[in-house]
Structure 1
């Protein structure tokens, strides 16, 4: 798990450096991008939680 997280972070940093070097604007405003990532994270956690909750009833 930590390996995947570090790889994702490193990839994001490399892409950020490339975007800055070529003066490419970010494809999404930073706040909206972070909000989208939070939504994706919560969505991934929501289905197993619902399945667990429904399985216990």
Structure 2
């Protein structure tokens, strides 16, 4: 239940911010994508600060943690064999 309440609170905060910058929701595609990029990058700031404070190897951490999270692989679909696909269409 706690993640849902947190998600609602963050959604309300984003709604207030949208209102303050006069952006209607749903946001135009470019604004929405820039916002999502900000979320992805913003998620990495607290762990990065922890790495810097602990004086651990930040460059390696960025390559191992940040890069896969921000630039991760796109989902891959599986193709059904042609005969199976044709049978499904006939049904």
TM-score (norm 1): 0.47
